[in-house]
Amino acid sequence: MSLNDLLYEKGCSELQFVEYPHKLRILEIWIHPDSNDRFIIEESLPYDCIEQWLRQKGRYEPPKESKGCKPVGLRLLIQQWQIAHFNPGSRVLPFAKSTLDNVINLLYLPKSYPHDFANGRHLPGRLERVDTLTGKNIGIVLQSPKFIASFMSLALSFDPISNITRGFLGHVTGNGVNGPIDPVLEDLKRMVDYSSHPVLLPALAFGLWCHILRDDCTNINWQLRDIQGRTGLMKDYLRQTNAEENLPLYVDFDKIHSELVEQQQYLSSSISDFVFELGEFCLVALSDIGEVQKMAAKRDTELKAYILQMQRMAKSELQHKDRMLSRVDVQFKVLYSLMQQRDSRINHEIAVETKRDSAAMKSIALLTMVFLPATAVATIFSMSPFFSSNSGLDIVTSSQFWIYWAVTVPLTVMVLIMFLLWLERGRFLKHLARNGRFSPLAKHFIKSTKQT
């Protein structure tokens, strides 16, 4: 067993093979170099016909030779994974193990592909040599980050002798019939003359992900503007002299915070790293393959120009993404400041209400001080020496009832004076101490009173 076979078996051991009824289709683009005749075959492929297509038997035979020249081009097996049946975060491969063996062996794909797929992380592209019966093929494997609505896994093999590129492309569509890879396939059908070039499909995939990055940045930018417009974060904080007066209490800051966190996660996703590294890989692959196979210089030049153009767009979007990350950081700071201001205003209102309640309690205490002495005295004077009952019907006031008022009024005044002095004790004692009317011992008592 070779090391490639060992790597293949290890990768397969980490995968779970399930024959899901996913949509299979084929795309074949053929061109006769001598007559310039072109053939494009795109159709659905029944699952039980995979091996027949792989072996090019029956109705799947390639076009006939023309003037002694075999056709060149592209043979691509495409599988669309529905998100309802396939979770890109899992290690499920929607093939039977025997089917995968045929796909790898008959398309001469890199045997490291199952291991890369099982690894689950994005792979911006890798070149390797694949042993075949006719010599060495050039293998390409790349895999995007695993998002729900946009995920692709690609394995290619280019035969420099027959000038045929074979490959497998799996992709996920979030909902609906069409997936994000369809624009790439449409571009492939338009570029028949480039169809056999092994870097064409990775370059078009690079362009696709550049546009996905651009669309994501645009959507996030508008969502950030929406958050700013709904809450007035920057306007109230930076353009008003007093942001606290303009800050509405009905704003759901927790919801705004969760939205900002969500946008920050999108901006910090691995798609930007994947796009940047995929562009670099396409340029390196174009250079390496050009040294192995002397293809048309015009095609290489145009492919390089396309890749560089997409790189410029990706660089612009990455800079835009960095600016939005900085903007999100500023909005986080503003949001935290506004939350603190809101909490401060609420605490202030609570303090005002507490002070109002305290004043009410003081009033109640004052009324209690007014009526409590009279109540106490009345209880005492309700005894028989002050009042008596005539046959149980009339109450007869004693001639000594005046004693009740003589005691109650001075006692009430004295209690009120003591209560007020106790409330103002600090200011009163401080005034007396400032005028020098206390001894040092009394002053020490005043300091201890102020501390308590």
Average pLDDT, the chain: 78
Task: Give me the pLDDT at residue 396, please.
Answer: 64
Task: Give me the pLDDT at residue 251, please.
Answer: 67
Res 393 pLDDT > 70: no
| Cβ count near 380 (within 10 Å) | 13
Res 89 pLDDT > 80: no
Using one digit for the tens of pLDDT, what is the confidence trace for 268-281?
A: 777 888 888 999 99
Q: Which of 173-182, 340-349, 428-437 has the highest mean pLDDT?
A: 340-349
Which one is predicted more confidently, 143 or 249?
A: 143
Res 36 pLDDT > 50: yes
Res 446 pLDDT > 70: no
Range scoring the smallest mean pLDDT among 36-40, 216-220, 367-371, 377-381: 377-381
Res 237 pLDDT > 50: no
Res 201 pLDDT > 70: yes
Q: What is the mean pLDDT of residues 231-259?
A: 59
Task: Give me the pLDDT at residue 29, please.
Answer: 92
Task: Give me the pLDDT at residue 240, please.
Answer: 47
Using one digit for the tens of pLDDT, what is the confidence trace for 130-187?
A: 776 666 788 999 988 876 567 888 999 998 888 899 999 988 765 444 456 788 888 9
